Structure 1
Amino acid sequence: MSTVFEKIISGEWAGRFCWAEDSCVVFATIAPTAPGHMLVVPREPWAKWTDLPAEVAARLFEVARIIGSVQETVFDVPRSGLVIAGFEVPHTHLHVIPLRSEADVSLANATPASDEALDDTTARLRTALVEAGFGEFIPPEMNVCPPTSR
């Protein structure tokens, strides 16, 4: 059985991508706790983050750090937060959330966002990531996840 994230990565289901590389992708969550809330997801479907190989875990956290740093500028927030829960989808994912307050980090406060809002926040992050020198990781199209180079 495929997870929802495998379906998004494969293109079977829609996604809004701001990052793609061989080990992971980053896309918008459809129910953010704050504008710009992104998910860092390994391409392989490890159910628990504690099962990740060390090199994959390290790369996910590095990508999350980059995304969080750019979120702080794009969304003019004092910090970005990181949450790993994993009960809703059995495929490891890191929530990277622009934070204005502690309430923004609570996944219980997630609400569905409009397509327009998701498009806007993802486009803003993509532009800022290119400007920050990470253009090689930005997919050519926001709604298409490129395959791995392997």
Structure 2
Amino acid sequence: MASIFTRIINRELPAYIVAEDDDHLAFLDVKPVKRGHLLVIPKKEIDYIFDMDDEALARLNAFAKKIAVAQKKAIPCKRIGTAVVGLEVPHVHIHLIPLDAIADLDFTKERLTFSKEEYESIRDSIKAGL
């Protein structure tokens, strides 16, 4: 069965997509730990990041860097942090999270929710920086 991310790639499920190329997709996390929290994924469904070949991993990180630069322009923060956990969805994904403190990377705290209009506004502000 396809992962939830593959279903987003195939447009079977909605997402607030920020950027896409032939091999990657970046979209807002709908249960973010911080405003502007994004997920960057390869379109090829691979469960574990270190099962990716070196070239694919390098391309994924280069794509993530491009997104993080735009994200930092759009979301006031000290840095964009990255996290690769990989336990919740069996599809490689990099979390890009605006950081002001180390606690902003705490995945155990209550997740945020926004209105559809707020998600769209966040998405659009990041897209504008690309």
Q: TM-score range by the shorter chain?
A: over 0.9
Runs (5+) with no aligned partner, structure 2: none
Matched residue, 2:12: 12
Q: Supply the distance in 1 between the matched residues of 2:121 and 2:62 (Cα, whole angstroms).
A: 24
Query: Over residues 106-126 of structure 1, what are the superposed CA-to-partner deviations in whole Å (9 max), with x where a residue is unaligned?
Result: 222351422222111111001
The one-letter amino acid of 1:45's match is E
Within 5 Å, give how 1:1-150 maps onto structure 2. Answer: 1-109=1-109, 111-114=111-114, 115-129=116-130
Q: Supply the distance in 1 between the matched residues of 2:14 and 2:72 (Cα, whole angstroms).
A: 26
Cα offset, 1:48, TM superposition: 0.1
Q: 1:91 is paired with a residue of what secondary structure?
A: coil
Q: 1:108 is paired with a residue of what secondary structure?
A: coil
TM-score, length of structure 1 as denominator length: 0.81
Aligned residues: 129
TM-score, length of structure 2 as denominator length: 0.93
1:70/1:125 contact within 8 Å kept = yes
Runs of 4+ in structure 1 deviating by more than 6 angstroms, as ranges, are none
RMSD: 1.2
Q: Supply the distance in 2 between the matched residues of 1:110 and 1:116 (Cα, whole angstroms).
A: 21
Q: 1:13 is paired with a residue of what secondary structure?
A: coil
